[in-house]
Structure 1
Amino acid sequence: MTVNGAPAGRPVLAATPGRPFGIYIHVPFCATRCGYCDFNTYTPSELGGANPDGWLAALRVELDLAAAQLGAPPAVQTVFVGGGTPSLLGGDGLAAVLDAVRDRFELAPGAEVTTEANPESTSPRFFDRLRAAGFTRVSLGMQSAAGHVLAVLDRVHSAGRAPAAAAEARAAGFEHVSIDLIYGTPGERDDDLRRSVDTALEAGIDHLSAYALVVEDGTALARRVRRGEVAAPDDDVLADRYTLLDARLSASGLTWYEVSNWSRPGAECRHNLGYWNGGEWWGAGPGAHGYLGATRWWNVKHPNAYASTLAERTLPVADFELLDDVDRHVEDVMLRLRLRTGLPLAVLSVVERERLGGAEADGLVVRAADRVVLTDRGRLLADAVVRQLLD
């Protein structure tokens, strides 16, 4: 077995005993490209002959190689199928993906198994098939309940389809149903966001993720902003919208557990908590990132290059990096501070603890027993707090 594209030798891909272990599967297919999206996704005209059947065959080979590389792999505590648009595979296709994981890895008792889905490519039958296959959680991309906001984002589903899909997932027996929102889109009003949050809550969800719109270079939205067709998001407006949705969610029983995520008790996304708490995962699929031990790696991006590499029984690694103690410390502070449980004070150096006093004086953090936790104001300035502690 060889590794393609390694800068100096091969990455060391070995799980660390005792650390949480998950598997991320990247599905690169999308029916259309949303104007704000810079993920590794491909519409039919960009695939160059690649298709879901070929992707799945290559994925099975990567999982074969992954299991061999890990020797005696730890039990998989979480599986997350993301994209792209995993729901384009249909219920049977996603069941086949989960079977491919189960055939090569042991799922821990009570493992969390999540898939993302776009509302327009779901149905009651789709959700029934996922539940029968063993999926435990579904995450729906709603973004907004306002039609004019969806139009700016180039979303193709109607404003009412996402809550209907969430209700269908609940009816199929999914205990955990999440919705994603984007706030701060040009033309969005406070009332639009209120309606989006209320619509999601009325659909019976127990988890919501909300992200400020970011204009990424190279996207259609960035070109529109550059031409002056739409305004760039305003930081003050984004802060006001975050405060609005946090208040509305909190009043309805969904509590923040990470800066951009709210849930009812017990409905937190365990896979993402693994990322934030220093867990490990194998990332499979075109462009997927993985992290084991001190090694982070990422796969080749295009589905054709991915399949061609795996046809040679070669891991499709495009590149990797080895994190030193400083790198891992920076990530530990940056990620764990975003959590409601906070950052253990023991993680901080003596100098960083001294800097902590400035953030406390500014009302950005508080000390709770042996941890430091962001205040409501600190959540709005989380990145600045991290810089203040580390710089």
Structure 2
Amino acid sequence: MFARRTEFLKASEVRELLKLSDSDEIISFGGGLPAEESFPVGEMREICNQILEESGVKSMQYAISEGHAGLRNIIVKLMEEKGIHTSPDDILITSGSQQGLDLTAKAFLDEGDTILCESPTYLSAINAFKPFYPRFAEIDMDEEGLVPEDLIRKIESNSRIKFLYTVPDYQNPTGRRLSLERRKEIAEIANKYKLIIIEDSPYSELCFDNRKLPPLKSFDTQGRVIYVSTFSKTVCPGYRIGWVCAPQEIINKYVLFKQGTDIHTNFFAQMQIARYYEKYDIKEHLKSNIEIYKSRRDTMLDTIERTFPKEVEYTRPEGGMFLWVTLPESINTKELLVKSLKRGVAFVQGSAFFPNGGHENTMRLNFSGVREDKIRKGISILGEILKEEIDK
């Protein structure tokens, strides 16, 4: 009765387990949640009233698929600050950056095509791409991010490559950041091998060391980088406002697929985001967010250092929302998660972030959405459980 692609629409074991963590009794490091204290509730209340008074009917009417003109102009300015020279015609407003990934799959993928991606990579990108029956070629990572030499090896040893999918800034799930030198090198590789790059950049503004790096797209000289981002991490996630920045030829294809999906993104929410950027100082807002996230990152790292066994390895992110833990190979985090939930702590098992499977001894921990007292308590409990497992 159903299409073959519905084979991939199975409930995630991870998400089914994490449903149990939706309780005040569970300390959850599982979600990718921004800090609720950072949401501009009062400002948005005022903005909503202003929009309804000034443009009530317009805000409730159908709108163009490309998105609110004022918001696209704001995004052009944001791109300029990052060294990306573009125009409103190269911007498409999407229902979160997740829709950008879905439109990418629809526009580019045929069955049997190859996607190059980091190993590990973003779980929801895997889920967006899989219904189109691609193959995944995973690229090695180290502390400087994706390894260019392995990227070249995978390009030369795979056929029907459609694009490289990468999260260069504070990657989900590892928290790693691609170095400046590698950004330049990967842009050169893309030109040499005529490779399309999907640059997913939701976390670039959450920089703890005041050392922001230019996006891959800023080094793009041939229109090969499709830049996907969102306001979910800078303003709030519930509005579901993201965007794609790409050459107009590509944007036109995305628009056609979007029209068959949702016609246009929530127009009232687009007007709210635009007005927020016009009226308030986003840099001050981000500064406050970063202070919260950095403090929580520090608390998590300090507690891990004090309570985790010495056999455990982990990343030390300089921004973003996550860190990555690698355990001795004898430990299976799927089994560990069941035990951990019984003790009141949740995380995401790392195997879910590898499209070709394996790596059962890894986990992702989120620090941005958890208060510091709960971070100390939850990480200490995890440390106790890990010691018990290693001492078996």
TM-score, with structure 1 as normaliser: 0.30
More strand by share: 1
TM-score, with structure 2 as normaliser: 0.29
More helix by share: 2
